[in-house]
Amino acid sequence: MVSTTNSINTTSPNFDLGNWLENIIQNRSEAEKQALIDACNWAEEIHQTRTYADKPYLIHVITVANILAQLGMDTDVLIAAILHDVIDNVDLYEIEKRFGSTVMKLVDGVAKMKFIEELNSQIDTHKQTERLRKMLLAMAEDIRVVLIKLADRLDNMRTLRNQSKEKQQRAAHETLELFAPLANRLGIWQIKWELEDLSLRYLEPETYQRMAKLLDERRLDRESYIQQIMTSLSDELLKINIKADVSGRPKHIYSIWHKMQRKGVEFEEIFDVRAVRILVKTVTECYMALGVIHNKWQPMRNEFDDYIANPKNNNYQSLHTAVIGPEQKIFEVHIRTFEMHHHAELGVASHWRYQEDFNKQDANFEQKIAWLRRMLQWKDEDAGDFIDRFKSEIFEDRVYVLSPQGEVMDLPQGVTPLDFAYYIHTELGHCCRGAKINNRIVPLTYILKSGDLVEILSSNIEKPSRDWLLPQAGYLATSKARSRVRQWFKKQDNHQHINEGRSLLERVLRRLNIRVCNYEQLSKDLNFKSIDKLLIAIGKGEVTTIQIANTFQEQVLSAKKPVKAITENKSATEIHVDGVGGLLTKLAGCCNPKPHDRIIGYISQERGVVIHLRDCPNALRWQDEGNKRLIEVDWSQPNNLKPSYPINIQVNSFDRPGLLFDVCNVITREHINITATDSKSHNNHVDMNFTLEINDLEQLSRTLSKIDNLTNVMKVWRKS
């Protein structure tokens, strides 16, 4: 990771800008040197007598730049840091003109993050903060913006002493919630620990003081103790031919306090106040190193953990032990191979994940951050490459946008304001009419970008459009929102089916002259769970009017006496040819139709009409050829075998020539006997009455419906 290369104290009273610049511009190109000097002069000119925490403002921006220099950041970042607070006084164009577009974008990015910070102070939930963190990372197209912001925040925290108590608390809280975890995720431990310690100092001043006291040795002392251990360990390991990378892991007040809180233990029980990490080549060397340590110092009982043999759930592998070192001080040791370390750094068990008890199982995000940490470690890489890769790889699948209330929404890439509306609430989606992004009206097909402030314009009437469902129209990117729209239309369609079903049912009842109908009973009779379901089925045509008529058979006919009993037993194979009587018929030998099969007739030269099955291969071929000799035929209705009942019907219509003939034709085609008829005309109207002999209600209903469809017929119904 980055290391301290520059130790000039910018806040000391003896600080000399010239010296600092001299130091900073070493090893940079002439152009870069000049740009840095220009930036300092320009910032000085702009800020003039402005102060920050009782010091010239220039000191603040130089300190921020200095922190970044210590992290090994490039010249553009240092210039942007020096200019990070000038945006109120100069416009971006001026910055671009003087220092190029990269610096301008960095300065602009830092300014934008300020707006997010302000939002965070309004809303304070854990989930919200988590999303804000992601949003900050996603918004900063260039990760260096986040680094400048962190350095800025670090100097803010360092100079909080003279602020009001309220301001201290708020800044400390925000830092602990937002910026320290960001630093942690980016692997910048130097900033992370300092932010945490400073926050604790203001949030829990008493605890902080007590802890500081408990750490009776100063940080420097602890570090020199660790240094002593490291040297001695390296020597011991070299004796048995192990080349190890031994490093100290000095702990900080916040992390010790956090551990005490988490484990509910006292300070004395925390062993890892001093900690050492040993990296070796092989697993065998891990255990050999452990042997060396246990030989040299007395191990603490119950403090040895073998996560190499038993890796943690997240695949973290390491040996952990604690021993009593020189001066009877306990220190903790982690031993692992370079490969394990690398693996741990890479996310599945990356260091921050292991150290903090994150209960979020967002593996995808963690993986990306792990990748980011790896990227940050390749300091030598060309900056342009790094930024390009950052832009293209990280967060490519999520966008983070804001509601007007300042709530951060985490949405998939490519979503529109309409998706956003459905994400907030289904009803808001249905009522959505338009949208504003950052206070400007945009089309509903606008693609949201991270950091957009989204406001939905809605009416109070639900009115989704069918166009929203068309993928090529680009209204909705999420399948979830599309399914909401589909559901709405289905509901509407059902509504329409119910209306249509109801009017169809009412028409059937009117025709059959059924005045009282128990809809619930009818639904049950037709096997529907509810009246609505029945009506939908009728409306969609899944239940025919004939099926409905059948259910009234009993009710209508039981009171009537049949006019004919079963008296004769005529041949059941009698065949009726549509429109033509008395033709000679013969059953075809090729397919042998049986009564009730679906049949078709073929007019032969000599044998009259030959009856084939409708799907007989010969018949099919003739149908395909459009053979003119094919005629419609049907098995004769053995009417006279069934009982028939006398029924009176009335037909009201506008008169026209041939109407009576047409009505009679419909009736006789249904093989119904007409036993009486009577017709009265007045003005242009005609009322016709018929007495029919019907076999069942199905037959009647079908007949009534056919009469109803004749031209000029207004109304037809069964008379009681």
- Interaction site with Mn ion (CB under 5 A): 85, 152
Smaller CB distance to Mn ion: residue 87 or 215?
87
Smaller CB distance to Mn ion: residue 53 or 260?
53
Query: Closest separation between CB of residue 61 and Mn ion, Å?
Result: 7
Cβ atoms of 189 and 352 within 8 Å: the answer is: no
Smaller CB distance to Mn ion: residue 85 or 345?
85
Query: Closest separation between CB of residue 84 and Mn ion, Å?
Result: 6
DSSP state of 580: B
CA 376 from chain centre, in angstroms, equals 30
Query: Closest separation between CB of residue 52 and Mn ion, Å?
Result: 7
Length of the chain: 720
Residues 274 and 248: their CA atoms lie apart, in Å, by 8
Q: Give the sign of the dihedral formed by CA 82, CA 87, CA 90, CA 96.
A: positive
Q: What is the signed CA dihedral for 704, 710, 712, 713, rounded to 10 degrees?
A: 0
Cβ atoms of 65 and 82 within 8 Å: the answer is: yes
Residues 582 and 93: their CA atoms lie apart, in Å, by 101
How many C-beta neighbours within 10 Å does residue 470 have?
A: 12
How many C-beta neighbours within 10 Å does residue 149 have?
A: 25
Smaller CB distance to Mn ion: residue 85 or 455?
85
What are the start-end ranges of the H helices in 329-362? Answer: 338-345, 351-355
Smaller CB distance to Mn ion: residue 152 or 345?
152
DSSP state of 444: T
Smaller CB distance to Mn ion: residue 88 or 624?
88
Burial class of 159 by CB neighbour count within 10 A (0 to 12, 13 to 18, 19+): middle
Burial class of 124 by CB neighbour count within 10 A (0 to 12, 13 to 18, 19+): exposed
SS3 annotation, 633-702 = EEECCCHHHCCCEEEEEEEEEECCCCHHHHHHHHHHHCCCEEEEEEEEEECCEEEEEEEEEECCHHHHHH
Smaller CB distance to Mn ion: residue 113 or 415?
113
Query: Closest separation between CB of residue 346 and Mn ion, Å?
Result: 33
Smaller CB distance to Mn ion: residue 48 or 209?
48
585-587 and 609-613 beta bridge pairing: parallel
Q: Which of 317, 321, 296, 295 is nearest to 308 (CA)?
A: 317
Smaller CB distance to Mn ion: residue 142 or 152?
152
Max CA-CA distance within the chain? 130
Smaller CB distance to Mn ion: residue 85 or 142?
85
3 state SS of 311: coil
DSSP state of 264: T
Query: Token pair 């032969």 is at which residue?
Result: 604
Query: Closest separation between CB of residue 283 and Mn ion, Å?
Result: 48
**Tokens matching residue 188:** 């910048």
Smaller CB distance to Mn ion: residue 85 or 419?
85
Residue nearest to Mn ion (CB): 152
Q: Which of 509, 516, 506, 505 is nearest to 697 (CA)?
A: 509
DSSP state of 630: E
Smaller CB distance to Mn ion: residue 67 or 663?
67
Query: Closest separation between CB of residue 160 and Mn ion, Å?
Result: 13
Cβ atoms of 647 and 694 within 8 Å: the answer is: yes
Query: Closest separation between CB of residue 68 and Mn ion, Å?
Result: 12
Residues 231 and 224: their CA atoms lie apart, in Å, by 10
Query: Closest separation between CB of residue 14 and Mn ion, Å?
Result: 23
Instruction: Please give the C-alpha separations between residue 270 and each of 218, 327, 332, 531, 608, in angstroms, as whole numbers.
Output: 17, 17, 10, 71, 110
Query: Closest separation between CB of residue 59 and Mn ion, Å?
Result: 11
Q: Which of 219, 179, 212 is nearest to 196 (CA)?
A: 179
Query: Closest separation between CB of residue 106 and Mn ion, Å?
Result: 13
Beta bridge partners of 145: none
How many C-beta neighbours within 10 Å does residue 506 have?
A: 11
Smaller CB distance to Mn ion: residue 86 or 322?
86
Query: Closest separation between CB of residue 62 and Mn ion, Å?
Result: 11
Query: Closest separation between CB of residue 316 and Mn ion, Å?
Result: 38
510: phi then psi, degrees, rounded to nearest 5: -65, -45
Residues 689 and 706: their CA atoms lie apart, in Å, by 16
Query: Closest separation between CB of residue 33 and Mn ion, Å?
Result: 24
3 state SS of 572: coil
Query: Closest separation between CB of residue 211 and Mn ion, Å?
Result: 29
Smaller CB distance to Mn ion: residue 145 or 509?
145
Query: Closest separation between CB of residue 85 and Mn ion, Å?
Result: 5
Residues 310 and 538: their CA atoms lie apart, in Å, by 66
Smaller CB distance to Mn ion: residue 107 or 477?
107
280: phi then psi, degrees, rounded to nearest 5: -130, 180
Query: Closest separation between CB of residue 125 and Mn ion, Å?
Result: 27
Smaller CB distance to Mn ion: residue 81 or 188?
81
Query: Token pair 């030959």 is at which residue?
Result: 610
Smaller CB distance to Mn ion: residue 53 or 324?
53
Residues 74 and 193: their CA atoms lie apart, in Å, by 23
Query: Closest separation between CB of residue 81 and Mn ion, Å?
Result: 9
